[in-house]
Amino acid sequence: MEIKGIGNGIGIGAAFPSAGAAKSIGSAEGAGKFFSELVSKVNNLQGESDKAIQGLATGENKNLHEVMISMEKASISFQFMSSVRNKALEAYQEVMRMQV
Protein backbone atom coordinates (compact mmCIF):
# COMPACT_ATOMS: atom_id res chain seq x y z
CA MET A 1 0.00 0.00 0.00
CA GLU A 2 1.49 3.30 -1.06
CA ILE A 3 0.71 6.39 0.99
CA LYS A 4 0.89 9.67 -0.89
CA GLY A 5 1.23 13.02 0.81
CA ILE A 6 -0.88 16.05 0.21
CA GLY A 7 0.90 17.50 -2.78
CA ASN A 8 0.00 21.14 -2.97
CA GLY A 9 3.50 22.52 -2.57
CA ILE A 10 3.70 22.97 1.18
CA GLY A 11 6.74 21.94 3.12
CA ILE A 12 10.41 22.55 3.44
CA GLY A 13 11.33 20.93 0.11
CA ALA A 14 8.98 23.18 -1.84
CA ALA A 15 9.98 26.36 -0.04
CA PHE A 16 13.76 26.11 -0.39
CA PRO A 17 15.28 27.21 -3.67
CA SER A 18 17.18 24.70 -5.78
CA ALA A 19 20.82 23.98 -4.98
CA GLY A 20 22.10 26.04 -7.90
CA ALA A 21 20.11 29.10 -6.93
CA ALA A 22 21.19 28.81 -3.29
CA LYS A 23 24.82 29.46 -4.24
CA SER A 24 24.03 32.75 -5.96
CA ILE A 25 21.74 34.01 -3.17
CA GLY A 26 23.06 35.07 0.23
CA SER A 27 21.87 33.16 3.28
CA ALA A 28 19.90 36.14 4.60
CA GLU A 29 18.14 36.60 1.24
CA GLY A 30 17.44 32.86 1.02
CA ALA A 31 15.97 32.79 4.52
CA GLY A 32 13.88 35.86 3.77
CA LYS A 33 12.57 34.29 0.57
CA PHE A 34 11.83 31.04 2.41
CA PHE A 35 9.83 32.79 5.13
CA SER A 36 7.92 35.01 2.72
CA GLU A 37 6.94 31.99 0.59
CA LEU A 38 5.95 30.06 3.69
CA VAL A 39 3.77 32.88 5.01
CA SER A 40 2.08 33.38 1.63
CA LYS A 41 1.31 29.66 1.30
CA VAL A 42 -0.14 29.52 4.82
CA ASN A 43 -2.21 32.61 4.05
CA ASN A 44 -3.53 31.01 0.85
CA LEU A 45 -4.53 27.85 2.73
CA GLN A 46 -6.32 29.86 5.39
CA GLY A 47 -8.15 31.83 2.70
CA GLU A 48 -9.24 28.58 1.05
CA SER A 49 -10.41 27.30 4.42
CA ASP A 50 -12.44 30.45 5.02
CA LYS A 51 -14.07 30.13 1.59
CA ALA A 52 -14.93 26.49 2.30
CA ILE A 53 -16.51 27.43 5.65
CA GLN A 54 -18.54 30.20 4.00
CA GLY A 55 -19.63 27.78 1.29
CA LEU A 56 -20.81 25.30 3.90
CA ALA A 57 -22.65 27.99 5.86
CA THR A 58 -24.44 29.29 2.75
CA GLY A 59 -25.30 25.82 1.49
CA GLU A 60 -23.10 25.93 -1.63
CA ASN A 61 -20.84 23.16 -0.35
CA LYS A 62 -22.58 20.14 1.16
CA ASN A 63 -19.43 18.13 1.91
CA LEU A 64 -18.55 18.64 5.55
CA HIS A 65 -15.51 16.35 5.29
CA GLU A 66 -13.92 18.53 2.60
CA VAL A 67 -14.40 21.60 4.76
CA MET A 68 -12.85 19.84 7.75
CA ILE A 69 -9.88 18.70 5.65
CA SER A 70 -9.38 22.25 4.42
CA MET A 71 -9.50 23.55 7.99
CA GLU A 72 -6.98 20.97 9.17
CA LYS A 73 -4.60 21.76 6.30
CA ALA A 74 -4.70 25.41 7.30
CA SER A 75 -4.22 24.58 10.97
CA ILE A 76 -1.30 22.21 10.41
CA SER A 77 0.43 24.60 8.02
CA PHE A 78 0.08 27.42 10.57
CA GLN A 79 1.53 25.20 13.31
CA PHE A 80 4.42 24.28 11.00
CA MET A 81 5.09 27.94 10.24
CA SER A 82 5.01 28.79 13.95
CA SER A 83 7.45 25.98 14.73
CA VAL A 84 9.85 27.08 12.00
CA ARG A 85 9.66 30.66 13.28
CA ASN A 86 10.31 29.59 16.87
CA LYS A 87 13.29 27.45 15.85
CA ALA A 88 14.73 30.31 13.81
CA LEU A 89 14.38 32.67 16.77
CA GLU A 90 16.00 30.15 19.10
CA ALA A 91 18.91 29.74 16.67
CA TYR A 92 19.32 33.52 16.39
CA GLN A 93 19.27 33.91 20.17
CA GLU A 94 21.83 31.14 20.55
CA VAL A 95 24.15 32.84 18.04
CA MET A 96 23.76 36.14 19.83
CA ARG A 97 24.73 34.49 23.14
CA MET A 98 27.99 33.21 21.67
CA GLN A 99 31.08 34.99 22.88
CA VAL A 100 33.46 36.29 20.25
Statement: residue 83 has pLDDT above 90: yes
Report which of 51, 46, 74, 75 is spatially closest to residue 61, judged by C-alpha positions.
51
Predicted structure pTM score: 0.67
Q: What is the pLDDT of residue 22?
A: 47
Express each pLDDT in 27-69 by its tens digit.
Answer: 778 888 988 999 999 999 999 999 999 999 999 888 899 999 9
Report which of 47, 8, 44, 42 is spatially closest to residue 55, judged by C-alpha positions.
47
Range among 3-17, 26-40, 66-80 with highest mean pLDDT value: 66-80
